[in-house]
Amino acid sequence: MRVPRRLIGLSLVLGMAARPAAGADLRDLYFGEALYHAYQGRYFDALQRLDTELAQYHGLDEPRLDTLNYHINDAEFSVGDFELNYRMHHRAGRAITAVLEGAVDEAVRDEAAFRLARIHFQKDQLDDALHALARIGGTAPEEIRDDVEFLRANIYMATGRPSEAVEVLGQLRSDESLAGFAAYNLGIALFEDSRPQEAIEQLDKAGQLAAGDRAGLAIGDKSNLVLGTILFESGDFERARQSLDRVRLEGPFSNQALLRAGWAEASADQYDRGLVPWNILVDREPTDVAVQEAMLAVPHAYASLGLYGRAALMYGRALELFSNQIDRVDASIGSIREGRFLEALIREESRQDQDWVIRLRSLPEAPETYYLMELMASHDFQTALHNYLDLEDLRSRLIAWKTSLDAFDDIIRLRGENYEPVLPEVDARFRELDSRMRLRLEQRKHLGERLQAMLTAPRPDHLATADERIAGERIALIEEQLGDSDSPQTLALRQRAARLRGALTWRLETEYHERLTAAYVHLNELNAHVDALTRQYDAFVRTRQAATHSYVGYDIQIERLRERVREALERADLLMARQGHMIETVAIDQLEARRERLVAQQTEARYGIADSYDRAARAQSGAEGP
Amino acid sequence: MLFAVFALAPTAVLARQDDASQGQNQQDQMRGLDEQVQELKSDVLSMAEELSRLEEKLLYPSGTQVAIFVALAGGDQMRLDAVRLQIDGQLVAHYIYSAKELEALRKGGVQRIYVGNVATGDHQLEVLVDGKLEGGADFSRTENFTFRKEVKPKLVELTLAGPGSGNTPIALGEW
């Protein structure tokens, strides 16, 4: 008697939550935007944002000055988380390994090692998972300590080392979120370690642990169901019944528990008591395996109690149900072959809530997904389904990008048409203004230098007004015209000219400091105008450059991107077709297996009807006597 | 009857082996496809990164780019229904929030509600917030701000809070 390995798998808690936002401490808005997408489950958008931010950050000369620097550890971790949630295990592994090998705190490194181990475990790379856990130095940080040990135990279980798993789980004092899973896994580990009695006691404890959430209640049910099965198979029907009775009637394991509870009673020859759970079961969802089995178990119990007429009626009801279900399965197979399953999968409205897969059955002409529930719960099929949906999403994006690239081409063309006729004239005018501006700036510079020089070597004549300069020149002219004559008239005129020059020099000398100060004030006023002019000049240069940058130099990049998009779209189409075919094949295989089982049950029901009538007739004739 | 079971037994075992090898084969194919899907995702993401840089360069050059972000004050329980933005009197964004988006904001995510272009200099930003308070009462608030656009890209953060929270209902942060 072996408990299937998948029972252990069900108890794994591997949800990867995005790193909590820093809230009020958020320093990088784009990191906040990536989290905003991630919190809505839009991991592609989250990755697109964060990849862009990280690429920019790592391309900076001084990244420590960037706002992302404050969150860089969180950001690097988040990339790994987002990739994992977007089912990109390879890249997630690389991202987390990069954190692990970077210069980070021990606590960060430990968490990275733990995450890497989880990825390896999910990918069935068990040795790598253990190796990653071994990189946790000393004691794991408090927040992840239980998770680390829980994972370690799961790896031991998966590698066939139940005794080590028992040791780890036995020491685990986990909080409420893990308690039920740890208790259940310990029971399974003990069982696998050939310690059935201890396993039974442990599962008994696990089945009676108080739980507040759905997952906790479900694992409690699971513990009771497995315990009931073990006890049933070991012939302890009474305890098996007690354990199975503890499974909630509305929980996910209720149907199986009711079926086995009935068998526990029936095995103790208490068919009348076995009928109680089975009769509850037969009125439930008719596609459920347990319900279908109960449809045959109920008449079997009636026949065992000698109620052959009742048994014949119930076999008849079972026969009708099996025939209907075979028709439904056939219709489902037909629907899948016509591609309706895949069509239903990608319909947006069918993915609005968590139970979207179940809801597919309500769509017109969609297959009966209840028959696929077990298949859909498997990790590989889930991955295939999500990959199919992701591929559809990628296709939509690629098609939209194709349109965007065409639009970019249009924008660039229109900008070119707008700017090209105008720019030569603008440039010519700018060159003219530019040379005038340079000249004036040169003059201003020269004036500044002269004023500076006059601080040490005063030159009053440099500060003469235009009138004064003209007057000075006229005096010089008069002096020249007077020549060297010694006539009294000339002497008198020369004296007058000298007085005039003296008056001019006096004014220039006495007003020199005042004029120098005024010249500085004027030069500073000119500086303000020059600064404004320089700003305007820079703005023009930027705008002019922006005009060119708005339409020049994109052709190669856009063409390359267009080619990449085209190639990716082809790959997406091909992969979607292959993935879709794979999903359809696996689903059809599953349905055919169910069909085979239903046909066998149908035959059994037919035989049961005939047998019941025979027995009823024999009983009748026996009662009437010879 | 017993004989039939024995006679069928080897066939059944072989059939199970066939099923198992077929199942393994399908599993291998699924994993192979998964690897290829991962590669494609990786390529598409790298394209997305390049495309978003190209888009930014073409449509929102840094000299004129302005991006406005919306965040909720930490722990605020106001139910945000809608945000409307006007820049210099022009309506630039009117966003109505889904439950999922509101939850993402409450967890600390930041929404880039608008990205566009404005000239350098001062600009008027009018923010209208509609929501419901914890008790169910309607809540509406309008605030006017001035922000200054320089040569580099302008990031404006609006942190929203319910009136009873003790925080400023609409706080502006400039980056």
* Whole-Å CA distances, A408 to A101, A414, A441, B43: 41, 10, 42, 21
Chain B neighbours among A 369-398 (CB < 8 Å)?
380-381, 383-384, 387, 390-391, 394, 397-398
pLDDT above 70: residue B10: no
Mind listing the pLDDT tens digit for each residue in B81-111?
A: 999 999 999 999 999 999 999 999 999 999 9
- List the beta bridge partners of residue B138: B132
- In A194-307, which ranges are continuous DSSP H helix? 196-207, 214-233, 237-245, 254-267, 271-281, 289-304
Q: What angle do CA A219, A222, A223 make, to 5 degrees?
A: 90
Q: Token pair for residue A67?
A: 């706002």
Question: Any CB–CB contact under 8 A between A404 and chain B?
Answer: yes
Q: Token pair for residue A466?
A: 């235009």
Chain B positions touching A26 (Cβ under 8 A) are: 71, 108, 110
pLDDT above 60: residue A124: yes
- CA-nearest of B171, B37, B160 to B97 is B160
Average pLDDT estimate for A377-388: 82
Length of chain B: 175
Tell me if B47 and A561 make a contact (CB, 8 A cut-off). yes
Q: Which residues contact A417 (CB under 8 A, 6 or more apart)?
A: none
Q: What angle do CA A492, A493, A499 make, to 5 degrees?
A: 90
Confidence tier at A624 by pLDDT (50, 70, 90): low
- For residue A456, the tally of other CB atoms under 10 A from its CB is 6
Check: CB of residue A368 under 8 Å from CB of residue A329.
yes
φ, ψ at A229 (rounded to 5°): -65, -45
Biggest alpha carbon–alpha carbon distance for chain A:
189
Q: In chain B, which ranges are E strands?
A: 65-72, 79-87, 90-96, 111-117, 121-132, 138-149, 154-160, 170-174
With a threshold of 0.80, does the pTM exceed it?
no
Which residue among B40, B73, B104 sits closest to A394, beta carbon to beta carbon? Answer: B40
Q: Give CA torsion, residues B99, B102, B103, B107, to 10 deg.
A: 180
Q: Is B83 helix (H, G, I), strand (E, B) or coil?
A: strand
Q: How far is A548 from chain B (nearest CA, A)?
A: 11
CA distance A12 to A185: 9
Tell me if A22 and B53 make a contact (CB, 8 A cut-off). no
Question: Any CB–CB contact under 8 A between A571 and chain B?
Answer: yes
Q: Is A101 helix (H, G, I), strand (E, B) or coil?
A: helix
Place of tokens 């999403």: A393
What number does CATH give the domain B65-174? 2.60.40
Chain A neighbours among B 37-66 (CB < 8 Å)?
37-38, 40-55, 57-59, 61, 63
Confidence tier at A186 by pLDDT (50, 70, 90): very high
Q: How far is A384 from chain B (nearest CA, A)?
A: 7
pLDDT at site A199: 93
Q: How far is CA A596 from the centre of its chain?
A: 41
Kindly give the pairing relationship between strand B121-132 and strand B79-87.
Answer: antiparallel
- In A123-141, which ranges are continuous DSSP H helix? 126-134
pLDDT at site A371: 77
Most confident of A11-20, A346-355, A368-377, A446-455: A446-455
Chain A positions touching B71 (Cβ under 8 A) are: 26, 32
Segment among A10-24, A31-45, A56-70 with least mean pLDDT: A10-24
One-letter amino acid at A84 equals L
Summary mean pLDDT of chain B: 85
Check: CB of residue A79 under 8 Å from CB of residue B32.
no
CA distance B105 to A35: 9
Average pLDDT estimate for A607-626: 81
Kindly give the pairing relationship between strand B154-160 and strand B65-72.
Answer: parallel
Kindly give the pairing relationship between strand B111-117 and strand B170-174.
Answer: unpaired
- List the beta bridge partners of residue A384: none
Q: What share of chain B is helix, strand, coil (3-state, %, to 5)?
A: 40, 40, 20
Q: Count interface pairs A-B at CB distance under 8 A.
A: 164
CA distance A4 to A159: 14
Check: CB of residue A247 under 8 Å from CB of residue A32.
no
Mind listing the pLDDT tens digit for each residue in A344-355?
A: 877 765 565 556
pLDDT above 50: residue A312: yes
φ, ψ at A317 (rounded to 5°): -65, -40
Q: How far is B111 from chain A (nearest CA, A)?
A: 5
Q: How far is A343 from chain B (nearest CA, A)?
A: 20
Mind listing the pLDDT tens digit for each residue in A194-206?
A: 999 999 999 999 9
Q: Is the ipTM of this complex over 0.85?
A: yes
CATH class of A1-159: mainly alpha
Give A141's DSSP letter.
P
CA distance A35 to A28: 11
CA distance A226 to A276: 21
pLDDT above 60: residue A1: no
Give A65's DSSP letter.
G
Percent of chain B with pLDDT over 70: 87
Tell me if B109 and A21 make a contact (CB, 8 A cut-off). yes
Question: Any CB–CB contact under 8 A between A258 and chain B?
Answer: no
pLDDT at site A421: 93
CA distance A185 to A142: 22
Question: Any CB–CB contact under 8 A between B88 and chain A?
Answer: no
Residue of B nearest to A583 (CA): B30
Q: Is A18 helix (H, G, I), strand (E, B) or coil?
A: coil
Tell me if A397 and B55 make a contact (CB, 8 A cut-off). no
Fold annotation for A165-260: 1.25.40
Length of chain A: 626
Which residue among B33, B42, B58 sits closest to A575, beta carbon to beta carbon? Answer: B33
Q: Which residues contact A138 (CB under 8 A, 6 or more apart)?
A: A106
CA distance A3 to B100: 40
Interface test with A, best of B1, B35, B36, B41 (most A CBs within 10 A): B41
